[in-house]
């Protein structure tokens, strides 16, 4: 099979990741980090600390205690949004967001706790600070944007948005599910208060781990249980990261994530370069085909390309690619329905092609030929 569904999960993790996961399940590390005080538990905890340090460095965050491990980017976003809720406040977000942002907002609004404005792109299909400004209210307290759209690969300008957020005293929350590992992200530079990251996509970890990095934001926990500290207290004490990691840490996943981050750091310039070249190549080739509608802009060189074939649903195309050509892509709405409302593709969905560092040019050529034949 040719795997071009890397925006969902990167296929076939690097050897170093697999090795790290196995290590975590072995006799020298398989214990509860941060719970017991024996050697195995401590060794395990030190490795988890290393993961926090590496992630903090990679994303330009000063304090590694503000690196919180979650079960995935969805939980990171839930914690960031539900944990920072300001009653009667207002949130600005965009049509590009995933349901892991939208549904927590719908939930909070239904409870009567907040209101929100979902910003639409301008004539050029982009969101600028102009659109954000027109959504601003006196009670706005947070701006939530994704860095790179998981549907079209479109990128938001974090530097501009960060300045806007700072000027208007807003919390700036960035969903980097699709961009972490693919793009440089510096929290400090971009005034990002909270950054939500998926492990299993561009950072090549196994599924089952995500990260919330925050800049000393006092969040309320959304899960309650054992923290390894202050066991006798009724309330969860607000201490990062312990408070937000109730229950046993997903040690093998975090070990895998640490290995993945190291892998990405080591190859980063090559990863970015290859992604740019391959996305550009694919976009140009696809653009020359008559029957293709492309939703990804020529300058969105982020490894995510969305398209449809005229008079076919995305599901039909994906099925043919899978069955006849042994090519894996994703069809449908990609859990981001408002993008499809905007593009008028709620019915058809979109065919999404997404690349990784391991994608080969000949695989892209096979895809292009297959699409020609459909």
Q: Is residue 369 part of the contact set for its own copies (CB under 8 A)?
A: no
Contact predicate 234/288, CB 8 Å: no
- Residue 300 CB, nearest approach to its own copies (Å): 21
Contact predicate 305/279, CB 8 Å: yes
**Hey, which residues between 164 and 223 contact its own copies (CB under 8 A)?**
198, 200, 206-210, 222-223
Q: Is residue 37 part of the contact set for its own copies (CB under 8 A)?
A: yes
Q: Is residue 107 part of the contact set for its own copies (CB under 8 A)?
A: yes
Span interacting with its own copies, options 158-166, 185-193, 297-305, 322-330, rule CB under 8 A: 322-330
CA atoms of 225 and 234, how far apart (whole Å): 10
Q: Is residue 324 part of the contact set for its own copies (CB under 8 A)?
A: no
Binding footprint of its own copies, residue count (CB under 8 A): 91
| 3-state secondary structure at position 340 | helix
Q: Is residue 149 part of the contact set for its own copies (CB under 8 A)?
A: no
Q: Which of 98, 99, 52, 101 is nearest to 245 (CA)?
A: 52
Element holding 21 (H helix, E strand)? helix 15-24
- Residue 272 CB, nearest approach to its own copies (Å): 22
Q: Is residue 313 part of the contact set for its own copies (CB under 8 A)?
A: no
CA atoms of 209 and 69, how far apart (whole Å): 7
Contact residue for its own copies among 139, 291, 315, 365 (CB under 8 A): 315
Contact residue for its own copies among 56, 68, 73, 292 (CB under 8 A): 73
User: Which residue, 72 or 162, is less far from its own copies as judged by CB?
Assistant: 72
- Residue 222 CB, nearest approach to its own copies (Å): 7
- Residue 164 CB, nearest approach to its own copies (Å): 26
- Residue 29 CB, nearest approach to its own copies (Å): 9
User: Which residue, 71 or 168, is less far from its own copies as judged by CB?
Assistant: 71
**Hey, which residues between 229 and 258 contact its own copies (CB under 8 A)?**
231-232, 234-236, 246-253, 256
- Which two structure tokens, joined as six digits, stand for 249? 């840490």
Q: Is residue 370 part of the contact set for its own copies (CB under 8 A)?
A: no
- Residue 309 CB, nearest approach to its own copies (Å): 16
Contact residue for its own copies among 224, 284, 287, 369 (CB under 8 A): 224
Q: Is residue 360 part of the contact set for its own copies (CB under 8 A)?
A: no
Query: What residue ranges in 82-184 does DSSP mark as E strands?
Result: 89-94, 114-119, 140-146, 171-175
Contact residue for its own copies among 66, 100, 240, 313 (CB under 8 A): 100
Query: What residue ranges in the chain does DSSP mark as E strands?
Result: 2-3, 67-70, 89-94, 114-119, 140-146, 171-175, 194-198, 210-214, 292-294, 304-309, 327-328, 351-354
- Cα–Cα–Cα angle for 195, 192, 244, rounded to 5 degrees: 40
CA atoms of 221 and 23, how far apart (whole Å): 30
Q: Is residue 60 part of the contact set for its own copies (CB under 8 A)?
A: no
Q: Which of 56, 2, 361, 354 is nearest to 179 (CA)?
A: 354
- Which two structure tokens, joined as six digits, stand for 199? 């492990």
- The torsion of the CA quartet 142, 146, 151, 155, rounded to 10 degrees, works out to 130
Q: Is residue 24 part of the contact set for its own copies (CB under 8 A)?
A: yes
User: Which residue, 136 or 358, is less far from its own copies as judged by CB?
Assistant: 358
User: Which residue, 219 or 336, is less far from its own copies as judged by CB?
Assistant: 336
Span interacting with its own copies, options 26-34, 140-148, 153-161, 365-373, rule CB under 8 A: 26-34
CA atoms of 110 and 103, how far apart (whole Å): 10
């Amino acid at each position: 099979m040719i795997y071009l569904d890397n925006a969902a999960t990167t296929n076939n993790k690097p050897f170093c990741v697999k090795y790290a996961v196995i290590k975590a399940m072995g006799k020298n590390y398989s214990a509860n980090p941060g719970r017991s005080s024996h050697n195995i538990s401590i060794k395990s905890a030190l490795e988890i600390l290393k993961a926090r340090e590496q992630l903090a460095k990679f994303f330009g965050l000063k304090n590694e205690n503000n690196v919180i491990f979650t079960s995935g980017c969805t939980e990171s976003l839930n914690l960031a949004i539900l944990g920072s809720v300001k009653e009667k406040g207002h949130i600005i977000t965009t049509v590009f967001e995933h349901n892991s942002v939208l549904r927590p907002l719908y939930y909070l609004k239904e409870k009567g706790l907040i209101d929100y404005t979902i910003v639409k792109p301008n004539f050029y299909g982009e969101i600028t600070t102009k659109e954000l400004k027109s959504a601003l209210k006196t009670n706005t307290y947070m701006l939530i944007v994704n860095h790179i759209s998981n549907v079209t690969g479109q990128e938001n300008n974090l530097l501009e948005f960060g300045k806007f957020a700072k000027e208007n005293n807003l919390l700036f929350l960035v969903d980097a599910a699709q961009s972490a590992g693919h793009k440089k992200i510096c929290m400090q530079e971009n005034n990002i208060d909270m950054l939500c990251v998926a492990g299993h996509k561009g950072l090549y970890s196994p599924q089952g781990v995500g990260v919330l990095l925050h800049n000393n934001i006092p969040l309320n926990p959304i899960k309650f249980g054992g923290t390894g500290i202050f066991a006798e207290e009724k309330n969860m004490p607000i201490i990062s990261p312990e408070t937000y990691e109730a229950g046993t840490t997903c040690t093998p996943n975090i070990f895998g994530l640490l290995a993945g981050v190291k892998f990405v750091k080591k190859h980063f310039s090559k990863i970015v370069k290859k992604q740019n070249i391959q996305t550009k190549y694919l976009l140009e080739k696809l653009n020359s085909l008559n029957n293709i509608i492309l939703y990804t802009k020529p300058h969105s060189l982020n490894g995510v390309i969305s398209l449809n074939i005229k008079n076919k649903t995305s599901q039909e195309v994906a099925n043919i690619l899978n069955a006849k050509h042994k090519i894996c892509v994703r069809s449908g709405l990609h859990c981001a329905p408002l993008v499809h409302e905007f593009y008028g593709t709620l019915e058809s969905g979109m065919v999404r092609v997404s690349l990784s560092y391991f994608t080969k040019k000949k695989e892209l050529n096979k895809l292009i030929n297959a699409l020609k034949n459909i």
